[in-house]
Amino acid sequence: MARDKNERPYKPDASERIDRELSASCSNLWGAAAVSGRGGVYALYLRLKQGGVWIAVAKRQTTQDDFPMVAFGSGRSIGAALTALNTSIMQSKWKRDMPYNGVR
């Protein structure tokens, strides 16, 4: 069946393209964020530190106790930081979330 010459094929918008790319390239982070309720990621932070290094932090509530857990990733770009965070989640490098007191 011929298409109408004025009909435009569906083109996903930017948020859909980012969504697809993250689900494919950061599948561990994506899977942790898709879990609802206890055990799933409830916060994701990206922060640019001095020196041009991006830090990615994911927080989740554990199912065993009430302590929040965090995983970290860093890189020179947002994509590199998210990829490093994805690797941390894949390797189960979750740590207990300790409030920053400025002394570490």
Mean pLDDT, contiguous 10-residue spans, the chain (104 residues): 64 80 82 74 91 93 79 94 93 87 63
Chain CA centroid to CA 35, Å: 13
Maximum CA pair distance of the chain? 70
pLDDT at 53: 96
How far apart are the C-alpha atoms of 95 and 78, rounded to whole Å?
22
User: Would you identify the CATH topology of the domain 14-96?
Assistant: Double Stranded RNA Binding Domain (3.30.160)
Q: Break the chain into its structural domains and give their ranges.
A: 14-96
pTM score of the predicted model: 0.74
pLDDT at 24: 83
- CB neighbour list of residue 17: distance below 8 Å, 6 or more residues apart: none
